[in-house]
Amino acid sequence: MLCSSSSSLRPHLLLSSIGDGLSHFSKPLHPFIPIFNLGNMHFSIKSSINDLFFNKRKAGLNVNKKQLQPGKVSPCLSVPDQIARPPYVGTKFFPEFGTGSEVHDMKGVECMRASGKLAAQVLQHAGTLVKPGITTDEIDMAVHQMIIENGAYPSPLGYGGFPKSVCTSVNECICHGIPDSRELENGDIINIDVTVYLNGYHGDTSKTFLCGDVDDKAKKLVEVTQECLLKAISICAPGVEFNKIGKMIQKHADKFKFGVVRQFVGHGVGRVFHCEPVVYHYRNNERGRMVLGQTFTIEPMLTMGSTNPVIWSDNWTAVTQDMSLSAQFEHTLLVTENGVEILTQC
């Protein structure tokens, strides 16, 4: 959850109308927060004239799919009192993007391994639930239950007011979809983004799952997005520049003519949910190198068409401007002597 100019929960968000043209990204304000709060202004999905125009264009990009619509969001779920909360829970403000990077000693590494493993197990379980007819709200309930049963807190719940325990991003939703009453349909793709807070450490991971029979174009998008993540992971090691990640991802996406979303970024993660470094998924010349013992995420979002996000009036749900499909994969990584260890795998 981070937005790029300002966040994955919120990758950084830029003004969507100029997003692709921006070369001067300011530092992310917050992973979960758009720089410009477009939701309540002119970009409401239902009212935008642009949408009418872009809907006509979506035929080849989101074949036979209905435009995603907001469903009903159920009341907040509770967390037992004995489970420790991250410091942002119960505050009205978006947490600051942490300026210190997460570099761990042996004990910290063990805590990161534990939270990463739990996040991966929860994500794996959530994936088994994906089938036509299940609601994203039911997936949220299952995720919430499994996290609290393991003595952890679901990091998205209460993060800057986010109302649910997991992000569920269907079809043209790039990220930060709020679980609701919508039933998954045959042919949908859905990203499930799980973050858990266990013993004071966050573990953050997401995957895009196929629901029923998915057409070949969408399958290819999902496959290539996962390849982008794995290729980026393969070049990480102490001393490697973070900008190598974006180069690798963009190069592979370009081969298949898929777009790379710029406004949402990877991030440092550990005691803090979102902190430095900012990890861009597209070509860039940002400075900064990986350090032994450091933990961060890589979480590329690829699209079939426009990479510009539009934010719904719920202030969270980010969808592609042209309704083209979007896929995402994410891991939390630990820099080791020879490369990185993927913390978020079972």
Task: Indicate the annotated binding residues for substrate.
Answer: 176, 274
Question: At closest approach, how far in Å is the CB of 274 from Co ion?
Answer: 7
Q: Name the residue nearer to Co ion (CB basis): 139 or 167.
A: 167
Which CB atom, from 322 or from 330, has the smaller least distance to Co ion?
330
Nearest residue to Co ion by CB is 8
Query: Measured from the CB of residue 330, what is the shortest distance to Co ion in angstroms?
Result: 5
Q: How many residues does the chain have?
A: 346
Of 58 and 274, the one with the shorter C-beta distance to Co ion is: 274
- Angle made by CA atoms 143, 45, 190, in degrees to the nearest 5: 30
Q: Which is nearer to Co ion, 293 or 300 (CB)?
A: 300
- Residues in the site for Co ion, rule: CB under 5 A? 8, 204, 297
CA atoms of 88 and 317, how far apart (whole Å): 20
Q: Which is nearer to Co ion, 121 or 195 (CB)?
A: 195
What is the torsional sign of CA 268, 193, 39, 51? positive
Q: How far is the CB of 61 from Co ion (least distance, A)?
A: 26
Q: How far is the CB of 265 from Co ion (least distance, A)?
A: 9
CB of 227 to Co ion, least distance (A): 19
